[in-house]
Amino acid sequence: MLSEFTPTQVAGKRVFLRCDLNVPLDGDRITDDGRIKASLPTINSLLSAGCGIVICAHLGRPKGEVKKELSLAPVANRLSELIGKPVKFITTSIGEVAEKGVLSTAVGEITLLENIRFNPAETSKDENERLALAKELAKGVDFYVGDGFGAVHRKHASVYELAKLLPHASGKLVAAEVQVLQQLMESPKLPYMVVLGGAKVSDKIAVIKNLITRVNRIAIGGGMVFTFLAAKGYSVGKSLLESDSIELVKEILSTAESRGVEVILPTDILGAPTFSDQPALRFPVESIPDEIMGLDIGPDSAKNFANSITSSHTVFWNGPMGVFEFSHFANGTKTIAKALTEVSGLSVVGGGDSAAAIRALGFKDAQFGYVSTGGGASLEYLEGKNLPGLEALNS
């Protein structure tokens, strides 16, 4: 059972807090600070308990190299603004400078270490390398709080090995994420609907196979829908297609039919001759021209999806319905998001691109039942996988 930290456990101590602060940047400008805001309840609770906080996080995939454009410096500035107090930023994560910064973090103070993925040992496949890094990170701290849900599916040094070296507990965010996902897996109120989008069907095959035994409806949109349409014998023009997944999709459709699970596919799509933000052309799915690339579900499909969503009591959504960054192809995603705000039961936005989409389209997190911070971690949990970060916190 996942245990959240208590004030008694951390009072007067120096706490190592693993967060997920992997925010999108445009230069030095943070374009979506949702993950920083999601970490605030844990940070504020630790401060109230009377401890010093050393925050560790990653940004992007620097692959063990120091890359200025992936520095956490802008995150330190934004966190300071949101928390209303200074955040000391250390320009490295281990070594003499980092250790000195950690040891100088007093009760009530916050220190943020530089991008942990600048160190190749963080993501190394060599357990000994990860353990050596974890031992360096453990210097000067007394307690570990795991709150970076977006990284719990990774067996990384700061997520897995370090948690096992120190007394540990989960943060408020991780505890909340797990509680919601457990509800989706173990006790969803019916009808239960899953809406899946995004580019690749291969990324979602495992979660579909695991959820198909639990749900009443599955709606498919995004780039992945064209593999489903191809599996039903339709031509998809220049749309994204994973030919090697067609047989797997046929198996899924067959399993769904045998179990009485409704699979909802678009009846119309919006497309264009090229991948660009240009006026959309609309076609029935059975007659997509060879020169057309599908870029969104059509308005009839969006309305049909929305009606199914609002008549469900539990809805999990992961993946945009189209290229929402293009104004002409954002309607499908926007319609699905609006429908989720109207669900009478639990509506869960499954992190990643879906969470970014709702904010970019003008929705607020509070309009939904729950907005996850970890797309990949959420999907792997729903696949039924053991997540290393949760395993370490449970040990």
User: Residue 371 CB: number of other CB atoms within 10 A?
Assistant: 23
Average pLDDT over residues 92-101: 96
* Span(s) in the chain for CATH 3.40.50.1260: 7-175, 188-383
Count the helices and strands in the chain (H runs, E runs): 15, 17
Topology (CATH level 3) of domain 7-175:
Rossmann fold (3.40.50)
pLDDT at residue 255, rounded to an integer: 96
**pLDDT of 356 higher than 90:** no
Average pLDDT over residues 140-164: 97
- Which amino acid does the sequence have at 144? Y
Determine contact, residues 355/375, Cβ cutoff 8 Å: yes
Active site members: 35, 200, 352, 376
Token pair 């007093």 in the structure block, residue: 106
Determine contact, residues 140/5, Cβ cutoff 8 Å: no
- Residues 53 and 332: their CA atoms lie apart, in Å, by 42
As its CATH architecture, domain 188-383 has 3-Layer(aba) Sandwich (3.40)
CB within 8 A of 333, min separation 6: which ones? 197, 296, 320, 321, 322, 324, 357, 361
**pLDDT of 351 higher than 90:** no
- Residues 226 and 362: their CA atoms lie apart, in Å, by 28
**pLDDT of 89 higher than 90:** yes
Average pLDDT over residues 18-29: 94
- Residues 43 and 390: their CA atoms lie apart, in Å, by 19
* Chain segment 363-377, per-residue pLDDT in tens: 999 999 999 998 889
pLDDT cut 90: percent of the chain above it: 94
* Chain segment 183-220, per-residue pLDDT in tens: 999 999 999 999 999 988 998 999 999 999 999 999 99
Asked whether the CA dihedral 67, 106, 17, 88 is positive or negative, the reply is negative
Determine contact, residues 314/188, Cβ cutoff 8 Å: yes
pLDDT at residue 395, rounded to an integer: 82
* Chain segment 29-79, per-residue pLDDT in tens: 999 999 999 999 999 999 999 999 999 999 999 999 999 999 999 999 999
Token pair 């693993």 in the structure block, residue: 18
Give the CA angle between residues 59, 60, 64 to the nearest 5°. Answer: 90
pLDDT at residue 268, rounded to an integer: 98
Quick one: pLDDT band at residue 1, thresholds 50, 70, 90? low
pTM for the whole structure: 0.92
